[in-house]
Structure 1
Amino acid sequence: MTAVQVQQPIVESAAASASMGLELTLGQCTVVQCNYAHGRQFVDSILGEPLHQGYNVQYKGTTLHMQRTELKHRAGFCLLDDGVYSYMKVYDFLSFWARLYNAGKPVDELLKAVGLEDKAKVRLSRLSMSEKRRLSFARSIVHDPELVVWEDPEQNLDLEGCIIVRKLIASLIDQGKTVLVTCSTMEQAISLSEHVYRLTENGFHRFLTQEEAEPAEQAAPLDAADILDIEEPTAEQPETAMPKLEKLMVKADDKYVFLDPSDIYYVESNDGLSHIHSGAGEFAVTWTLTEMESRLSRQQFYRCHRSYLVNLQHAAELIVWSRNSYSLVIGDGKKSKIPMSKAKFEELKAIVGSQT
């Protein structure tokens, strides 16, 4: 059942004509990947801020404005810049909000859900940034809302906090809540949910994830000028033949860059291009991910997701978010987290070997 419908502003451009509205259903988490400015404008529209009413938001057929008391009690929000009363203790803080909403949800239960039951008597000023954010999540659902909206929930969270918030989202879905999340990276978005949209100045665009039907990619012939690939000499070739040299030759501004595959961290498919993330920088090429996979087959690259090809030499960790959700952590300095499904996890274990 559709709980929320979002109609975006009318933008007269070719790119905008391919965009769509947004529908949120009960018992589902929908993730909107966007930059901070677009995400905040979108959330402010839902909140009914007068300067940001670019989106028409309908909640069960009624225009959603948070100034309306009956809707305010049916929706819960957690924003990045939400403040806390530093002088209060954790338990007292949640109890205050529970009384404000005349809520019946037990405070002890909420503290346990966000992993703060042992911090109940601690002042908020002594909490870490991650713990304060987890407390804000608890505050946003203290009144047991039907619609939950969180802005970039893993921002300012440590690993423990990320695991807790993902379990909390799963719990909200099981309760039949409608969950809307914004986030800044596509890696994070598709690891949080299979219902993912990108939001740009041209509106919403659906992102197809691994669990959905994937049409076969039509691999276009590669231009010989784009790949420098000199094979090892065969038995028929003279021994003086040039030794094997395999590199990717990619265009960057007004020059070409030769990339050693071993220096590539991962390749991401987005907006019809393959984005190569390497120690030399990021490069966008027109090859499909299937073409990239074919060219790099002799290297230790693995297709962990329909939109990602990773160099296993740079895989540092594997995070288990839940029974069906995993992320590969890449040793690229930023510790990029690449999403992976349970099926791919089992496949990877067979490739690299595992104790379990």
Structure 2
Amino acid sequence: MASSTAQRDNGQRAAYASVEELLAGEMGASVHIECGRETVDRAARFVHERYQRRRCAFYLATDQGFDRETVRSYLTFFSRIAGGSVTASDAIVHFGLAHIAKTQIKKLSLEQRALINFARMSLFEPEVVFCERPLANITPATRGVVTAWMGAVADAGGILITAGEPLREALLMPGTAYYEEDGRFLPAKTAIGSEPEEPDEAFYAGDEVHVFKVPARMDGATLLFDPREVDFVESVNRQNFASVRGELYPVSMTLDELEAELERFGFFRCHRSYIVNVQKVAKVERFTRSSFNLTLADARETQIPLAKGRAEAMRDRYGWR
């Protein structure tokens, strides 16, 4: 049950006065928190104490392995500690580490070190997983194997708790997202209650063509972007941004206002906090049985969340099956 000091945000989910209250109030559920480093440490300590009777696995940014060990010897060591059914060889194969199995950890890239941490956690067949920024050092080439493993943990009834920045990573995870603001923890809006209304204004009104540019601010100047330049619009910590060629620009219009204007240009409200340019979508990926992500066709293969209630609407609108 939530702490008595928790407050309801807009009559929906509770806002909490501390990360400890948040984790206690959401006990047993997957929770993802955008927060600073100090809060990450506090959250990790709380999870370690509260879930000590469960099989837990932790991955913090400071977990870099043992430099002199090879990948295989490192995972074999933890496999013996875990004493479970998943072997070091199983983990090496699953996370694509066979080609570096004999390599010393000190010679690995940041991404390879991240992968051995996920491999290490998998050895414990965890019921509870705590990760600090799980996607921080993961490239698009290997992101799928990481998200698939995390999705499998969630689908099996496990609890995923992640912490760190940015909010977009928290929103991608299966579960509930919160962000830290002025010492309080506020729920990110992650659901859409109803279908958006079709705009009343037609693209053509008689002989008049409706022209729209996305107004953004930068260094005191107003920039006007053609909608075709915009990859997506996101709302983060109560501020809206348009993503153009990998850069985020603040916009003053609300998401509802932008949705009404951009829908006619092929944009879709995929999430309470996101509007996506459908022409830029390369893949629709299932994360767990009930959660989805959209992968964009940009250089970073950016992922943005697709809310459960919007996935079917998107399929119907664009004929995707």
Per the shorter chain, which TM-score range? 0.7 to 0.9
Counterpart in the other structure of 1:45 = 42
CA 1:155/1:110 → structure 2, altered by over 3 Å: closer, same or farther?
farther
Counterpart in the other structure of 1:275 = 241
Matched residues in 2 for 1:175 and 1:233: separation?
Answer: 53
Residue 302 (str. 1) matches residue 268 (str. 2):
yes
Residue 30 of structure 2 aligns to a residue in which SS? strand
Query: How far is 1:81 from its partner?
Result: 3.0
CA 1:113/1:345 → structure 2, altered by over 3 Å: closer, same or farther?
farther
Query: How far is 1:182 from its partner?
Result: 1.8
Amino acid across the alignment from 1:283: P
Residue 268 of structure 2 aligns to a residue in which SS? strand
Matched residues in 1 for 2:44 and 2:314: separation?
Answer: 43
Once the two structures are superposed, residues 192-244 of structure 1 have per-residue CA deviations (whole angstroms, 9 ceiling, x without a partner) of 1231111244231111312xx63899xxxxxxxxxxx9x86736xxxxxx865
Matched residues in 2 for 1:155 and 1:254: separation?
Answer: 31
Asked if the contact 1:29/1:169 (under 8 Å) is kept, the reply is no
Once the two structures are superposed, residues 173-200 of structure 1 have per-residue CA deviations (whole angstroms, 9 ceiling, x without a partner) of 3554433112423332222123111124
Once the two structures are superposed, residues 138-163 of structure 1 have per-residue CA deviations (whole angstroms, 9 ceiling, x without a partner) of 32454455542111111212335322
Query: How far is 1:318 from its partner?
Result: 3.7
Residue 172 of structure 1 aligns to a residue in which SS? helix
Matched residues in 2 for 1:139 and 1:116: separation?
Answer: 13
Specify which structure has the higher proportion of helix. Answer: 2
Once the two structures are superposed, residues 119-144 of structure 1 have per-residue CA deviations (whole angstroms, 9 ceiling, x without a partner) of 59533447654343222123245445
TM-score (norm 1): 0.67
Residue 81 (str. 1) matches residue 42 (str. 2):
no
* Residue of structure 2 aligned with 1:178, choices 159, 162, 176: 159
* Aligned-residue CA RMSD (Å): 4.1
Which structure's CA Rg is the greater one? Answer: 1
* Residue of structure 1 aligned with 2:258, choices 284, 292, 314: 292
CA 1:46/1:75 → structure 2, altered by over 3 Å: closer, same or farther?
farther
For structure 1, which runs of at least 5 residues remain unmatched after alignment? 9-17, 49-55, 65-70, 218-228, 236-241
Counterpart in the other structure of 2:131 = 150
Asked if the contact 2:267/2:276 (under 8 Å) is kept, the reply is yes
CA 1:255/1:47 → structure 2, altered by over 3 Å: closer, same or farther?
closer
CA 1:140/1:42 → structure 2, altered by over 3 Å: closer, same or farther?
farther
CA 1:121/1:312 → structure 2, altered by over 3 Å: closer, same or farther?
closer
TM-score (norm 2): 0.73
Asked if the contact 1:108/1:117 (under 8 Å) is kept, the reply is no
Matched residues in 2 for 1:323 and 1:177: separation?
Answer: 13
Matched residues in 2 for 1:82 and 1:112: separation?
Answer: 18
Counterpart in the other structure of 1:234 = 206
